[in-house]
Structure 1
Amino acid sequence: MLDLIMCVDDDPITLMLLKKVIDKAAFSKETITAQNGEEALEFFKSLKNTLTKDTTTNLPQLIFLDLNMPVMGGWEFLDCFNTPEYLNFNDIKVVILSSTIDPEDISKSKTYPIVIDFLPKPITTSILDYLKTKI
């Protein structure tokens, strides 16, 4: 079981279902959410100021990321998150959750070393069981 994961999605129903499935599967002790990539980056900026070299407390171990969101989408988030400004967080793995499985998007996701998988929505307990083997 992971200690903390982050779900970045603009749809409140998707976030609610995701949290329920995560709880049912005992996948994570705590789940935090962000409504778009910009909100997620703000969370990490605020954490960056409290980090020391010896602590990784309160860091999500995994991010579930939607691609199509207002304000800042998943691709823009990944582009920013992979800059030196967020170097302290490069151990956090990302799973892209998308309602469309476009082969170009799947190929693009493989260009980001932190992205460990590209999976369809909605998430299920069997998908979480599969992810346990990859983390």
Structure 2
Amino acid sequence: MYKKILCVDDDPITLMLCKKVIQKSEFSEVIDIANNGEDALKYLDAIKGGHISDPDFILPELMFLDLNMPVMGGWEFLDEMTEHNYIEHFPNLKVIVLSSTIDPKDIEKSKSYPMVLDFLSKPITREMLESLKK
């Protein structure tokens, strides 16, 4: 079981479904949410910058990331993470791209990011989570 994961998606129904499946599967103790890539970067920046004063704060270990979102999509988010070396600050954070696209080019592109663990198609299922359990 993961201690904390971060779900990044602009669709409230997808987020609700993710939370339900994750909770029922006992996949993670805590589920944090960001509505787009920019919000996810702000979340990570707050951690990186030491702006979270709670000594019991748990770093997310896994992120489910949608690709197509307003403000900042998944590709832009991954580019920012790579360009600004977030992997140095979050070496244990792995990303699962969770998208409705099945374009082989997207799947191949996701492999070029060192923090991306896998590319899965929506919707998230219990079987998917079983294959990701640590």
- After TM superposition, the score normalised by the length of structure 1 is 0.91
| Cα deviation, residue 85, structure 1 | 4.8
* Partner Cα separation in structure 2 for residue 123 and residue 43 of structure 1: 23
Number of equivalences: 130
**Map of 1:72-87 to 2, 5 A cutoff?**
72-86=72-86, 87=88
Q: TM-score, normalised by structure 2?
A: 0.91
Partner of 1:41: 41
Distance 1:65 1:103 in 2: 17
Q: How far does the alpha carbon of each residue in 1:21-75 deviate from its partner, in whole angstroms, 9 at most, with x for none?
A: 0000000000000000000000111111228xxx994210000000000000000
Q: How far off its partner does 1:82 sit?
A: 1.6
Task: Please tell me whether the aligned partners of residues 2 and 29 of structure 1 are also in contact (alpha carbons under 8 angstroms).
Answer: yes
The alpha-carbon distance between structure 1 residues 16 and 40, as it changes in their structure 2 partners (threshold 3 A), is same
Question: Which letter does structure 2 place at the counterpart of 1:70?
Answer: P
CA RMSD of aligned residues (A): 1.7
SS in 2 for 1:126: helix
Percent of paired sites with the same residue: 58
Aligned partner letter, 1:90 = P
The residue that corresponds to 1:92 in the other structure is 93
Q: Is the contact made by 1:82 and 1:90 (CA closer than 8 Å) also made in structure 2?
A: no
Q: State the one-letter code of the partner of 1:15.
A: L
Corresponding residue for 1:106? 107
Residues 115-135 of structure 1: CA deviation (Å, up to 9, x unaligned): 010001000001000111xx4
Corresponding position of 1:121: 122
State the secondary structure of the residue aligned to 2:22.
helix
Give how far 1:84 is off: 3.8
Any stretches of 5+ residues in structure 1 without a counterpart?
none
**What CA distance in whole angstroms lies between the structure 2 residues aligned with 1:22 and 1:121?**
14
Q: CA deviation at 1:100?
A: 1.4
What are structure 2's unaligned runs of at least 5 residues? none
